Amino acid sequence: MRATVIHGPSDIRIEEVPEPVVQRPTDAVVRVVNACICGSDLWAYRGVAARQAGQRIGHEFIGVVESVGSEVRDFRPGDFVVAPFVWSDGTCDFCRGGLQTSCPHGGFWGEIGSDGGQGEAVRVPYADGTLVALPKETMGEEKLLPAMLALSDVMSTGHHAAVSADVRPGDTVAVVGDGAVGLCGVLAARRLGADRIIAFGRHEARTAIARTFGATDVIAERGEAAVAELKELTGGQGAHAVLEAVGTEEAMRTAISIARDGGAVGYVGVPHGGSAGVDIGQMFGRNVSLRGGVAPARAYIPELLKDVLSGALDPGPVFDRTTDLAGVPEGYRAMESRSALKVRIIP
Amino acid sequence: MRATVIHGPSDIRIEEVPEPVVQRPTDAVVRVVNACICGSDLWAYRGVAARQAGQRIGHEFIGVVESVGSEVRDFRPGDFVVAPFVWSDGTCDFCRGGLQTSCPHGGFWGEIGSDGGQGEAVRVPYADGTLVALPKETMGEEKLLPAMLALSDVMSTGHHAAVSADVRPGDTVAVVGDGAVGLCGVLAARRLGADRIIAFGRHEARTAIARTFGATDVIAERGEAAVAELKELTGGQGAHAVLEAVGTEEAMRTAISIARDGGAVGYVGVPHGGSAGVDIGQMFGRNVSLRGGVAPARAYIPELLKDVLSGALDPGPVFDRTTDLAGVPEGYRAMESRSALKVRIIP
């Protein structure tokens, strides 16, 4: 089969690789229907996150179960499924507590020895603990596929930011980051009842999506000017909840600065380097909290899927380009140059 | 009257100062029955926290109302009261929301233009919003006075750490810091139903108090060795809730390291310098939260006072020395050298 392989910075190739097979009794093999490229894949693409030459890449996919190991109880060939971006055993304390990202048997698609999502098929460890069933009849609904695909990561991650920032009905919420996760954060905040949603961004195509997703205000400034504008919009008080979906020092500094006293920053931007803008002295006197981290998508998918199927939630518009496998390297270039927001792959 | 005045690092004096009087209709004047020296006063004593020569000092007291302004409704002369370490108007959004430390009209005892708690009397701004009534009949109960005095700050702050770290029944809780706040954190964790409480400390008199307050284990090590010992005590997992009651980089680093994945650090140690040990990269993958800050004691005192009066809660043992005003400079020296844990003042 063919899959996406990373050989080094800016070196993404589509290669012939071995067909995945069930190796352990808890495995399933899933034929990929849709996959996509994530903003976090760009850290590897840029060479910031280290990868071995020849590692697979991609961690978001929906697909059809092709074969299952002897101990898989919940899935059989032909089932339609979505995979969260981390696999997990489904039985440990962390999995049962809803923090599947801390499962001691868990792992991340594309890590050494595993398949990546950006390929024709994937061997899924701990299928029962990892996969979530999608209704079979949705397989042909082209309009629903992008929304269900987004549950793999960006929609669940945006939701994690909103839950971590403790968004409540009536709140004023600020969203730092205009990538797919930030935009899904806007959706999540609206879904949780935010009254006012202030999105940060200057890229017009993205802020347009933010508005359709529920943003009531958009701030194009950055740094101190952005902080000042948000303060003015909120009568000097700041936002009850701030969603940080970038991971840079500047973004974190902004996020903490614009939180209302007693408010919380839900951080889901993958941090790059040390304290990444966290100034505890700035948080202390104002009782600003910092919650979040890597999103336990597996815990959130069932709840979010219900709303996707009912039509109440549609993160599909974060995909602004579709490609086949051959177009994946160009998809990375487009996302790196910000000419594409998020690229969907139909292998 | 006489009051404690700070003139510079290590220069604490008892001086004759003007008698406080009602200046605004919302003021009360309170004659101090008991005050005390706080670990955080030592930052000024050491010259780390800047003070103008001649500033008052002390922010914890119980006392008797002597006079009230025309708009004070809830108190009258003769009432017995406790003051939280911050005054607050009692009517703003933050006060009504229980975050009185963010009241725009609030202030900290001893700041320029205000009285400090370590004196014979104090002018209390916004008496209705600030003071909490104590039962008059407790005024003569020498055993209760230290416990009620501790509500001013250390017991409320320890409670804030426990609430911020989301201590729940059955939890394993770690407490970093063996000062009065850390010890009160042990009490607070027990009160909230913690099953196991692991206190960090090597000062035997203090760890003995920690044990009587409910600590089930004591770790004398520091840094990496302390982290390793806690991990061993918790089967490798860490503590559900960590109370950080020091404020140094090392303490914060330890606190984050020993939190269980998905757990929280409740931070109440006054931070000194920048990011103070917060490594967001270390928190991200494990979904460790950071909550806390300056404790809204005013919000907690009524609830904690009930337990003090019923005998269920007694933070009194954090006071291991009592002095009159003349002995206050020696009290600072004793606390600075750690020969006293916390000094109570009977002016």
Residue of B nearest to A99 (CA): B262
Q: Residue A14: how many CB atoms within 10 A of its CB?
A: 18
Helix (H) or strand (E) holding A230: helix A223-233
A90 and A230 share a domain?
no
pLDDT of residue A49: 85
**Residue B217 to residues B164, B195, B201, B300, Cα–Cα distance (Å):** 22, 11, 10, 27
User: For the complex shown, is ipTM > 0.85?
Assistant: yes
For A184-195, what is each residue's pLDDT tens digit?
999 999 999 999
Last residue of a domain, one of A272, A292, A312: A292
- Parent domain of B57: 2-153+296-345
pLDDT of residue B48: 85
Cα B218 from Cα B211, distance rounded (Å): 8
Low-confidence ranges of chain B (pLDDT < 50): none
Phi (first) and psi of residue A281, to 5 degrees: -65, -30
**What CATH number does residue B47 fall under?**
3.90.180.10
Last residue of a domain, one of A292, A311, A334: A292
At A274, the pLDDT band (50, 70, 90 cuts) reads: low
At A279, the pLDDT band (50, 70, 90 cuts) reads: confident
pLDDT exceeds 90 at position A50: no
Cα B60 from Cα B62, distance rounded (Å): 7
Percentage of chain A modeled with pLDDT above 70: 99
Q: Residue B64: how many CB atoms within 10 A of its CB?
A: 18
- Could you tell me which residues come within 8 angstroms of residue A41 by beta carbon, excluding any fewer than 6 positions away? A57, A58, A59, A332
Q: Where are the alpha helices (DSSP H) in A6-150?
A: 41-45, 93-96, 127-130, 145-150
Of residues A152, A85, A93, A95, the one with CA closest to residue A128? A95
A41 and A121 share a domain?
yes
B117 and B90 share a domain?
yes
pLDDT of residue B275: 61
For A121-138, what is each residue's pLDDT tens digit?
999 999 999 999 999 999
Give the sign of the dihedral formed by CA A217, CA A309, CA A291, CA B171: positive
CB contacts of B102 in chain A (<8 Å) are 261-262, 286-287
Instruction: Give the gap in angstroms from C-alpha B61 to the nearest C-alpha of chain A.
Output: 21
**What CATH number does residue A220 fall under?**
3.40.50.720
Of residues A70, A65, A74, A77, the one with CA closest to residue A128? A74
A137 and A175 share a domain?
no
For chains A and B, count residue pairs whose Cβ atoms are closer than 8 Å. Answer: 109
Residue A5's DSSP bridge partners are A13, A56
Which among A102, A261, A289 is the nearest to B261, CB-wise?
A102
**Residue A204 to residues A199, A245, A336, Cα–Cα distance (Å):** 12, 18, 17
Phi (first) and psi of residue B330, to 5 degrees: -65, -35
For B220-237, what is each residue's pLDDT tens digit?
998 899 999 999 999 999
Answer for the pair A150, A209: CB distance below 8 angstroms, yes or no.
no
Residue B29's DSSP bridge partners are B67, B123
Cβ burial of A302 (10 Å; 0-12, 13-18, 19+) is exposed
Instruction: Give the gap in angstroms from C-alpha A140 to the nearest C-alpha of chain B.
Output: 36
pLDDT exceeds 80 at position A275: no
Instruction: Give the gap in angstroms from C-alpha A323 to the nearest C-alpha of chain B.
Output: 31
Which among A267, A273, A294 is the nearest to B285, CB-wise?
A294
* For testing contact with chain A, the best of B99, B159, B280 (most A CBs within 10 A): B280
B127 and B7 share a domain?
yes
A327 and A251 share a domain?
no
A140 and A15 share a domain?
yes
Domain count, chain B: 2
Which among A94, A271, A296 is the nearest to B280, CB-wise?
A271
At A307, the pLDDT band (50, 70, 90 cuts) reads: very high
Residue range A41-49: average pLDDT? 91
Residues in chain A: 347
Which among B101, B102, B287 is the nearest to A99, CB-wise?
B287
Answer for the pair A335, A173: CB distance below 8 angstroms, yes or no.
no
Of residues A203, A198, A202, the one with CA closest to residue A174? A198
pTM: 0.95
pLDDT of residue B276: 67
At A271, the pLDDT band (50, 70, 90 cuts) reads: confident
Answer for the pair B49, B70: CB distance below 8 angstroms, yes or no.
no
* For testing contact with chain B, the best of A103, A280, A284 (most B CBs within 10 A): A280
Answer for the pair A248, A255: CB distance below 8 angstroms, yes or no.
no
Of residues A188, A192, A189, A219, the one with CA closest to residue A206? A219
B118 and B178 share a domain?
no
CB contacts of A291 in chain B (<8 Å) are 264, 289-291
pLDDT of residue B282: 85
pLDDT of residue A131: 98
B232 and B209 share a domain?
yes
**Residue B48 to residues A159, A267, B10, B41, B272, Cα–Cα distance (Å):** 42, 32, 11, 10, 9
For B153-186, what is each residue's pLDDT tens digit?
999 999 999 999 999 999 999 999 999 999 999 9
pLDDT exceeds 80 at position A295: yes
B267 and B172 share a domain?
yes
A131 and A80 share a domain?
yes
Helix (H) or strand (E) holding A300: helix A297-310
B113 and B201 share a domain?
no
pLDDT exceeds 90 at position A54: yes
pLDDT exceeds 80 at position A204: yes
Mean residue pLDDT across chain A: 96
